Structure 1
């Protein structure tokens, strides 16, 4: 897909991978409208020339507010990048089920609701794309992040299913599966981390090349391992 002149709605675009994607898409001539929850970060991105929309995607009201703010504007590319982590480790003691609910909504329900609400605008364009940012952990889970892994696996399967539904339309469904990336979300993760700028670059290239799936960094090796032995892939990731 040629990105110049395209209108992009990018969730979670004020930090990490999302911020880098916003910058790179803008450099390629796309009009990027990004969302976030932090007024300060939104203001920083506005200072860089981006249009922003405040959006809390952890509940239905927040998603509906974003859809209302978008209205009937044309849309070429929807990038579901916003995501949350939640501490859900019984080895540390009791866990908060309400916190899990918020993460499940933000990571899985919100992308589904946005895709549903914006599908007609996407179908109305000559060429359009939905980009769902999942994770290498959508392939095989890590023991310390069960809720996050479950939501990303759910979004992966949703992506696979709607890709089949939309195969004869103008809307391409792209799944991006990052490895551990150097973002605020992974501050406490001791594993080697990919720079957010490089991860974003590979996602943008996948959009340009109309790829169905972008396995990024170590996710490529995990995909190979999983194709040979799903049990081995799980053994590797469950330790982390």
Structure 2
């Protein structure tokens, strides 16, 4: 896809991977509307020329408000990038189920709800893309993050089936599977982390080249291990 003059809706675009991706899209000539929850970060992005919408995607009310704010605006690309990480480790303490609910909604329900709302509009464009940012942990989970892994696995399954359903339409479905990335969400993760800018660049390349799946960084090796033996892939990630 040639991104020049394309209208892009990018969730979670005020920090981390999303912020870097917003800048790269703008450099390509795209018109980017981004969402986020932090007023200060949104104001910074607005000062840089981005259209911003404050939105909390961890609940139905917030997603419905975003859909209402979109109104009659037309987009060529939807990037479901916003996500949450929740501490859910029984080895430490009894997890907070409410925190899990927020994570499940933000990571899985919100992308499904936004996709459902925007597919009719995307279908009216000459060319359109839906980009779902999942994770390498959608392939094989890590023990310390069971809820996060479950949501990303769910979004991966949704992406695969959505692509099949829309294969005869003008809407191209792309799944991006990052490794551990150096973002605020992963600040406490001791693993080696990919720079957010590098991850964003690989997602951008997948959009421009219309790839169905972008296995980014170490996810390439994990995908290879999974193709040889799913048990091998799980043995690698479950230790973390």
Fold similarity call, TM over 0.5: yes
Match of 1:193 in 2: 193
Match of 1:210 in 2: 210
- Tell me how far 1:74 sits from its aligned partner: 1.0
Structure 2 distance, partners of 1:125, 1:74, is 8
Structure 2 distance, partners of 1:200, 1:96, is 32
- Tell me how far 1:13 sits from its aligned partner: 0.3
Match of 1:219 in 2: 219
1:18 aligns with 2:47: no
- Tell me how far 1:127 sits from its aligned partner: 0.3
What does 1:39-50 align with in structure 2 at a 5 Å threshold?
A: 39-50=39-50
Structure 1 distance, partners of 2:84, 2:226, is 25
Match of 2:171 in 1: 171
Aligned-CA RMSD value = 0.4
1:181 aligns with 2:181: yes
Q: Gaps spanning 5+ residues in structure 1: where?
A: none
- Tell me how far 1:221 sits from its aligned partner: 0.3
- Tell me how far 1:93 sits from its aligned partner: 1.3
Match of 2:107 in 1: 107
Three-state SS of the structure 2 residue aligned to 1:172 is strand
Structure 2 distance, partners of 1:162, 1:205, is 21
Match of 2:119 in 1: 119
1:72 and 1:121 in contact (8 A); partners too:
no
Three-state SS of the structure 1 residue aligned to 2:2 is coil
CA offsets per residue over residues 116-164 of structure 1, 9 Å max, x none? 0011110000000000000000000000000000000000000000100
Return the TM-score normalized by structure 1: 1.00
- Tell me how far 1:191 sits from its aligned partner: 0.8
CA offsets per residue over residues 174-229 of structure 1, 9 Å max, x none? 00000000000110111111000000000000000000000000000000000000
Three-state SS of the structure 2 residue aligned to 1:74 is coil
Structure 1 distance, partners of 2:135, 2:207, is 17
What does 1:151-166 align with in structure 2 at a 5 Å threshold?
A: 151-166=151-166
Match of 1:52 in 2: 52
Return structure 1 stretches of 4+ with deviation > 6 angstroms. none
Structure 2 distance, partners of 1:202, 1:142, is 23
Match of 2:82 in 1: 82
1:2 aligns with 2:2: yes
Structure 2 distance, partners of 1:26, 1:121, is 22
Three-state SS of the structure 1 residue aligned to 2:175 is strand
- Tell me how far 1:72 sits from its aligned partner: 1.6
Q: Gaps spanning 5+ residues in structure 2: where?
A: none
- Tell me how far 1:73 sits from its aligned partner: 1.1
- Tell me how far 1:111 sits from its aligned partner: 0.1
